[in-house]
Chain A
Amino acid sequence: MSKGILELKDITKVYDNGIVANKKIDLEIWENEIHAIVGENGAGKSTLMKIIFGMEQPTMGKYFLHGAETQMNSVEQAIRSGIGMVHQHFMLVESMDVVDNIMLGIEPKKGMLMDKKAARKMVQDVAEKYRFQLNYDKPVSEISIGMKQKVEIIKALIRGAKILILDEPTAVLTPQETQELFVQLKMLTKLGHTILFISHKLKEVKEISDRITVIRKGETRGTFPTEDLEIREISNLMVGRDVSLNYEKTRSQYGEVLLEMKNVTSKTDSGKMLKNISFALQRGMILGVAGVEGNGQSELVEILTKRGESYDGEIRIFKERLKNHSIKSLRSRGLGYIPEDRMTQGIAAEETISDNLISTRFHSRKFGKRAQLDKNAILSYADEAIRSYEISCHGNDHIVGYLSGGNIQKVVVGRECDEDVELLIAEQPTRGVDLGAAELIHHKLLDMRERGAAILLISADMNEIVELSDRCLILYDGEIVADFHEPKNHSEQEFGEYMLGLKKQGE
């Protein structure tokens, strides 16, 4: 078949803090293939990719590019050697606009100065070539996550990457966007690009890749041609057991209404993001909200979590008007919130796991009487959470920022799915999380529903919505275009038509 374009031999990586992220990894990448890397959270995938990209230096081992042994000392060198990488966490400068972000480091010059016109032209050309729609002049802080992902991909392509590393690019994309991306990836391989692809969604891996390398606890479990492996086998190699992500739900008895929106329209001067939204969420119900990113989901959650959006219409939460609540009173009444952006709102990265686990309910008597905090109660609470969520760490005093992303997510979920929570707003609860962890989180959500909590589930992952929700709203352009009572009875095709605005219920 094709020849090896990139080869790693015996790569070991020990981080400064003593964590061994990669152990004697061998990896061979062939030209023009789509090579998937799979493994649990913290298995060492990103680390390995960063080594290929020159961002991290291996502690030991050899690196061959086009058959020649190479020292990949810097990102700059990697880019020059035709390697591009789209990182798992966005690598964008928020205050700069899209064009500036894409051209960062390769700014075209006119004399000594930047040539903004030429830059824009270059970006436009590439975006058109790959059929990406971009908002060129908006600061990155104002564009949606899906858009950010596209910006990242263009960033790599425009640098002429022949080997393109994509670290969980689909985690934030809708099924349609993912399909679009896959078309692009196929086209790229035809144009002579080689692709390294990381995902926790095994269906995607199976669909797109030519070969698969499985990594477990820093070591390779081997590389296999994709057609030789069933999804079940992959998950077995990865996690050591079968994971299906399909659930048999019991029929639930719905109870009192905890959250109700009546004719809510948002009031911003940059166009109304939400139009006439009405729904009611009852105890024992998981209400899914689906839609292509940027169609009002974030605004909805921002209003509910009191982050400044103002609105017309009425919102009642725990039977009272939302406006009469402070965040604190909402919290104390039993509101849980899993934020989409776990790093900025979900955790305090420099603090310990235990401190992160109690931030919403440290006032409670179980964590100490009056003004004092009861250390022991907190620690045993934390140990319990670590155990039941299988958070892999050194202990309850592990600094959260040093966990792998999947495990950070578990900390957030662990805190927000606490037994006191009556109403949970779960925004992308399993984003970036490995199969095993996703299954665990899904079970937690179902358990909460079982005990009578109400859950508003916002997700870009259609499988998640379909499997978990009792009822599902689809948002398009700030409006509810569909309201499915048994989401499982509707096909993915049908969902897609509503989400893309091709259809609208009642028309």
Chain B
Amino acid sequence: GCSTAETDSDAYKVLLLIPGNLGDKSFFDAANRGLEELAEKGYETKVIEMSQDETKWEPAFLDAVDENWDLIISGNAASQLMNSIAMDNPDHRFLNFDFDSSDIETADNLYSVSYATNEGSFIAGAFAAMITSDTSLENVNEEKVIGFLGGMDIPGINDFLVGYIQGALHVEPEIKVLTTYAGSFVDPAKGKELSLAMYQSGADIAFNVAGQTGLGLIDAAFESEKYAIGVDSDQSALYRETEPGKADSVLTSVVKQIDRVIVDSAEKAKSGELEFGKHELIGLSEDAVGLADNEVYQNVPEAIRTEIARISQEVMDGAIEIKSGFAMSAQEITEYKDSVKP
């Protein structure tokens, strides 16, 4: 474990159990940031990386309930396990920061959220379609092709993909989407290689949802003088200090406010306002997902930004029904992908 903040003994104690390792540039790192923020606010916090090896998760949970934490946070792949642990330990309180499956009954002492990721990536798809259609932009070609780089062909990634494609089609019915998966979340060189191939095949902008592998896409965009869309956090900021050129090629990112959700929920739990037993799906309307707005984004033509704002509003109003990758079989997803293949 790391980042234990020593505070007075009656501080509110929060434990984060990560079903994996830090450094994923996604859920886990963001959750960790949330805990860091809580620590600054005087909470007593601890973060345990349970590693990818699932057989190690239950022991970690059992140890956690043996100690007296006020709030135990986990989620993602460990959702089911956490739910059953919660049922067995009614005296403890649990927060699921990323509930992975909708059809389980939530324990009474557990509050869970999941993110309408597809809403964020829908907007990203729309944005990408507008960029590739705007040939007045530097280096944008005639063809209307956009790209997508996934870490692996798995439901969590495909939820992004489906929203992305739908968003792009919403703006530009003729759009073509190149889709690739690296088969690994830790191989940036491969990510770069695949992305270069996408840019070479005519994509003007591409979206990465692939952890560290995805950073290779940003590199490729910069090198090919094309554009990239980041994921999870504002990935332009990652390079702002060190490589401004690269930062500029990341026009925007689909951000998920996991850290904010964690901080808010913990504060509510502390003050007794958190509704345990409840599951919430949060998205654009709650400002839990959305596009990063920064100086690079501000440089995008006004018209595009206005249009994005309008579509976002439509989504929030429920005027557009957005597909969910979770609800589709592998076959359906393949068909959907193929329908926009160049």
Q: Do chains A and B touch in the complex (CB under 8 A)?
A: no
Chain A residues within CB distance 8 Å of chain B: none
